[in-house]
Structure 1
Amino acid sequence: MQYLVDPFLPSKCVVGFFGRGSTAKSSFVATLGAQASGDASTLWISVEEPDDWIKVRHIRAGGDEGTLFVVTAVASKSDSQGRVMGSSFDVYEHLEPSIMQARHHVEQMYNPPRPLKLVVLDTAVGLTGWRKGESPNDDASVKRLLAYLQGVAERYDVTIAVIGHSNKGKHEYFADTVAGASAWTNSPRLSFVHARDVREEHANVMRVAKTNLTTRFTTLYSTEPVHTLHRRAEGSDSVLVRVNVGLTVWGEDESMEVFDDATRKPPEEREGEGGGGKKESLVGKVMDVLVEAVYRTGQPVTREQVHNLFGREISRREWGKVDERLKLMQFQYRVVVEAGPQNKALYVKQA
């Protein structure tokens, strides 16, 4: 088994990326494409974004010039929530000609060429011409589409990243959060569900919904602006972002625990409150004390020093959560963990 980007993009496979809006699904895939651009090129087909946004994000996320070919479609049909259900592009008719055209395009740019290895469909629902009696909510229709895409992936030696939406509300089974038929997550060899990480601003989390390639895992990631589309004197600017990939936790139970911690909205943090609220409050307070000590002293800070400043000892499990958050938000806190004498953790201000 080979990977375009391990462990997110296995070669010659269809991979699903599903989630609610504002979880940076497209930016996550774009960052992976940029990461792979030293050796491979990307064909990006979108009904969600203008082509100039896609191209600028690729370059600003670290992608090489001439390694991205973009096709944009015009939406022709939307559902009640504004999600595109049809467009001027039809995967069954236009995907293979687009791949061949992109191949010709990228082969002219470099010697030796950087072959086309990644194809992105954003979103797959909006880029599919659903025939009479077919719909993205019908298992048979979705299985037919994904079987066709898997055939294309193998025939042209590409990874096809399928981006889609998820439903609102809670569901009994993890993969059922994806909008439409269950085949969206069950049929690909690998699929992910993305969600907001409510513990931090600009933070998100993704977990494997289905895989027959590895054990399940959860990855924490954050977004970083790389290009400003519009500045505002008041309020947030409109920006394009890249993704900073943080901690990955492997294992069925372990990955689910991390995903639940990231997506569970904590109750009001009050002293004396039991359960998750108190635990999350403690981690946040430890972070405040730790970061302040690092910046105030300008010297490496040990856990024992934080215990003294905090007035109590912190458990190893809670320190694990602190370290996870530091890795996830490294660009914000700029505090890194280093190994000191006897392998003790030292918290140091990043140069």
Structure 2
Amino acid sequence: MSAKNPKVAVVGATGAVGREMLEVLAQREFPAAEVVPFASSRSAGSKVEFKGAELTVRELKEDSFAGFDLALFSAGGSTSEKFAPLAAKAGCVVVDNSSAWRMDPKCPLVVPEVNPNDLSWHKGIIANPNCSTIQMVVALKPLHDVARIKRIVVSTYQAVSGTGQKAIAELEGQVVRLMNGKEIEPKVYPYQIAFNCLPQIDVFLDNGYTKEEMKMVNETKKIMGDDSIRVTATTVRVPVFYGHSESVNIETEKKLTVEEVRQILASAPGIIVEDFPEKKIYPMAVNAAGQDDVFVGRIREDESIENGINLWVVADNIRKGAATNAVQIGEELLRRNLLRVPS
């Protein structure tokens, strides 16, 4: 392995996030000696674009990782469960975008702006958090450091791209058919997504919450390093192509004014404050799409409790919520000389 120029594998390179990983690697000029795309046998031989050239997608096999230093995975949980340990065994550090390893106590769950030091104890597999969790904790960690957050109530409005390419095509197709007076047949989602909101993301659990909602609860505590934070979430799929929006209410131990919140967030890494309501300036998904930052606005005190703050948090779920965060983890590993699997 070259500490300065690692060989990088992108697993699931033909999917929405995999393609974005290639784009982000190029845009951020990640110093890779070579980037190789991998996918399942049915996608092997197809082409993906990287730095203006076309790369041929290789079939993912058990022996694919020999000689690689870093693997960015976005190929689903079952693929990660099988191949991530094989990659780590071959000496290749894995950054996995699925939910397979997020709550594994042996695997760091990392957002570089929030808990980069957790990378120091990786054993070869690092989990990339859920997209909706990533943008929320980027916004909340600076406030937690100053005033300690006791409770979080979050409602999300999540774009269809979080489900993948088929969901993007379904929304697009439904809009066209409905605008032309034609009937639709939902396939990706249980109901029509065009011109509709679905208060279900992933399956329902025994406690009445969805799996997506409990991801936000559990991942937030692990990333923030504080199990005492109380978190409750409602996650909703909305007819937006790219960009998750979140209404976040927090209760803090120490009183924070609106101006203090603005100043704290404006000086924090990875955050852009857009909070001029008198000029109708606030974060929107259409503006966040294609961006790597987390946008925060509609900052105001919750007048129903003593130490409450309301925030509106928006980010591109495919970039900061997935691909960009994974590449940033790779950059941080390189910076800290941790791009190796501990023996």
Higher strand share: 1
- Kindly name which structure, 1 or 2, has the bigger radius of gyration based on alpha carbons: 1
Q: Tell me if TM exceeds 0.5.
A: no
TM-score, structure 2 normalization: 0.31
TM-score, structure 1 normalization: 0.30
